[in-house]
Structure 1
Amino acid sequence: MLAAVAARTSQDDPLSGLEMRRVDRPDAAALPPHWSVVDVRAASLNHHDLWSLRGVGLPDEALPMVLGCDAAGVTADGREVVVHAVVGATGHGVGPGERRSLLSERYPGTLAEQVAVPTWNLVPKPAELSFEEAACLPTAWLTAYRMLFTSARLAPGDRVLVQGAGGGVASAAVQLGAAAGLEVAVTSRDAGKRERALTMGAAVAVEPGARLPFRADAVLETVGAATWSHSVRSVRPGGTIVVAGATSGDPAPMELTRIFFTEISVLGATMGDKEDLEALLRMLVRTGVRPTVDTSVPLERAPDGFARLASGEQVGKVVVTVG
């Protein structure tokens, strides 16, 4: 079957290690107990895939590796499902001793015609969502949901700053936050992305570092060094900064004096659990909110999707379709 594979890793030129290859299909008879094979209908790209191609979390001994965390598809018995990408956190399908990993780290990922996962990781896909929409959810949208509602515990009327409009997590946070009645502010260097964020429900869109018209109850931080100081200065005393990434590197200094003096909480978030994903799906069905798809390409053109993601020009998700 056709798959997008990390054949090599390179810090300086990550896309040079991406290859489209023919790989073996999962052998259902040889899988561990309580695993299932899913015929992938759509998958989406994440910065995790680019980091893997740089060798972060993907050692040479694991190569070649099928990339991809997110997918929606159909099981052998005809069920339409969304794949929860975290394996090992609960012990389902792998036993309690295996540490947590994401698909494409220890087990082949979703950018292929089929993927094998623990059956417990499969969540029914609502009929109201297309495969392309559902494939956007398990990493970026799930992370945004967890940051907003599980980590920051925001409620209608609260104010939140989302750093770096345009990325998958940021665009999801804008849409989810607006649907939940939050007052959402976003930042972006790109005027077009700021305007797009306003159309997605943001109340305020400013350049990075600009003063906000309010102090935020929480800040969602996925950029890191380039925006950290602004995040610390934009959150209210006693507020929360939730960190789920650092695409511009670790901040230095951390401004610890301001953090402890104003009693700011700093929390980490990595995706979410299966229950969060199920709640996210219910929220989308109920509200009518749908993921913003920036680009959709067939599997054989997955390298074009990776190039779009690496450019940083996308607003929303890059989706790969199969079949």
Structure 2
Amino acid sequence: MLAAYAVTADLEKPLNALEVGEIDPPAVPTDWVTVRVKAAALNHHDVWSLRGVGLPAERLPMILGCDAAGVTEDGREVVVYAVINDPGYAGEDETLDPRRSLLSERYPGTLAELVRAPARNLVDKPTGLSFAEAACLPTAWLTAYRALFTSGALRPGDSVLVQGAGGGVSTAAIMIGRATGLRVWVTSRSPERVERAVALGAHRGFAAGERLPEKVDAVVDSVGAATWSHSINSLRPGGRLVTVGTTSGADLRSAELTKIFFKPLQVIGSTMGTRSELEAVLHLVANTGIRPIIDRVLPLAEAADGLAAMASGDLFGKIVLEP
């Protein structure tokens, strides 16, 4: 089958580690369900995998991809939930399983014509969503939803700063926040991206690092090192910094520890979400009419072009591949 997969690791030039071509479907547990992929969305996780982060050499070659929507062999239209739990895990929050993985880490991912997953990892696709739109939800939109409401504990009327307009998580947080009654501010290095973010629903936009006119209740930060100090300085006393990614790197000049304990602030790590939270995201999108922003749709054979755009930051919203 046609797939995009990592054959090696290259920290500096991740696209050198990519192959796009025919590959035999790797073995997975026999009771998993086969899904014919109609659309798969790219995530920064795919670029990190090509760099070798979380993907050791003994697991190569590995089909990339966490997100997909497709059709099972019996005709059911589904969205694939990417968190794979240890068979012995009995907790309610899948993200707390110490042995969890994502599709494309231990088991083949979604950037292929077929993907297999446990039956419980398949969620019904709302009829009003296209396959391309549905494929954007299981990572970026799920991450944003959990960051805002589970980790960030925000309620209608609260204020939130979203760091870095343009990425999948950021655009999702803006649209979800606006649709649910939050006061949403956003930052970007690009005035054009600020303008587009405001058009999406952000109430105000600011240049990266710009001092805000007032402190906010929470910050959703997927950028990491480049925005960390600004995030800390933007919070009201008792506010919450929800960190969901490190696209600019993880090495901080200062952790701002004095400000964190003196204000006092909460710093909360948040990753992905539960299956039930993904169902909530699907219901929210179906019932409010908001839709993921899709930067471009490419054929699977052109996966390298999509991954290159993601690695360079040349996108606004999600990049979708269609087999």
TM interval, shorter chain, is: over 0.9
In the TM superposition, 1:125-140 aligns within 5 A as: 125-140=125-140
Contact 2:156–2:180 (CA under 8 A) maintained in structure 1: yes
1:60 equivalenced with 2:57 (yes/no):
yes
Secondary structure, counterpart of 2:68 in structure 1: strand
Q: 1 CA distance for matches of 2:88 and 2:236?
A: 39
Aligned to 2:94: none
Contact 2:69–2:135 (CA under 8 A) maintained in structure 1: yes
For residue 90 of structure 1, report the CA deviation from its aligned partner.
6.7
Q: 1 CA distance for matches of 2:142 and 2:272?
A: 6
Aligned to 1:183: 183
Aligned to 1:2: 2
Aligned to 1:38: 35
Secondary structure, counterpart of 1:282 in structure 2: helix
- Give the paired residue count: 316
Pick aligned residue for 1:73 from 57, 70, 74: 70
For residue 98 of structure 1, report the CA deviation from its aligned partner.
8.2
Secondary structure, counterpart of 1:70 in structure 2: coil
C-alpha spacing 1:245/1:100, structure 2 compared with 1 (3 Å): same
Give 4+ residue runs of structure 1 displaced > 4 Å after superposition.
89-93
Aligned to 2:163: 163
C-alpha spacing 1:26/1:126, structure 2 compared with 1 (3 Å): farther
Q: Percent identity?
A: 59
Structure 2 stretches of 5 or more lacking a match? 91-96
Q: 2 CA distance for matches of 1:98 and 1:288?
A: 36
C-alpha spacing 1:319/1:100, structure 2 compared with 1 (3 Å): same
Q: 2 CA distance for matches of 1:90 and 1:219?
A: 35
Secondary structure, counterpart of 1:194 in structure 2: helix
Contact 2:26–2:108 (CA under 8 A) maintained in structure 1: no
Aligned to 1:273: 274
For residue 26 of structure 1, report the CA deviation from its aligned partner.
6.0
Secondary structure, counterpart of 1:238 in structure 2: strand
Letter of the structure 2 residue corresponding to residue 175 of structure 1: M
For residue 25 of structure 1, report the CA deviation from its aligned partner.
3.4
For residue 174 of structure 1, report the CA deviation from its aligned partner.
0.5
- Per-residue CA deviations over 1:90-137 (Å, capped at 9, x if unaligned) read 7589xxx98100000000000000001111100000001100000001
Aligned to 2:285: 284
1:195 equivalenced with 2:195 (yes/no):
yes
Letter of the structure 2 residue corresponding to residue 78 of structure 1: G
Contact 1:26–1:116 (CA under 8 A) maintained in structure 2: no
Q: 1 CA distance for matches of 2:20 and 2:66?
A: 17
Aligned to 1:321: 322
- Per-residue CA deviations over 1:188-218 (Å, capped at 9, x if unaligned) read 0011111100000001111111111221100
Secondary structure, counterpart of 2:70 in structure 1: strand
Letter of the structure 1 residue corresponding to residue 203 of structure 2: A
Aligned to 1:99: 99
Contact 2:54–2:105 (CA under 8 A) maintained in structure 1: yes
C-alpha spacing 1:235/1:90, structure 2 compared with 1 (3 Å): farther
For residue 224 of structure 1, report the CA deviation from its aligned partner.
1.2
Q: Normalised by the size of structure 2, how large is the TM-score?
A: 0.95
1:12 equivalenced with 2:9 (yes/no):
no
Aligned to 1:47: 44
Aligned to 1:217: 217
Q: Normalised by the size of structure 1, how large is the TM-score?
A: 0.95
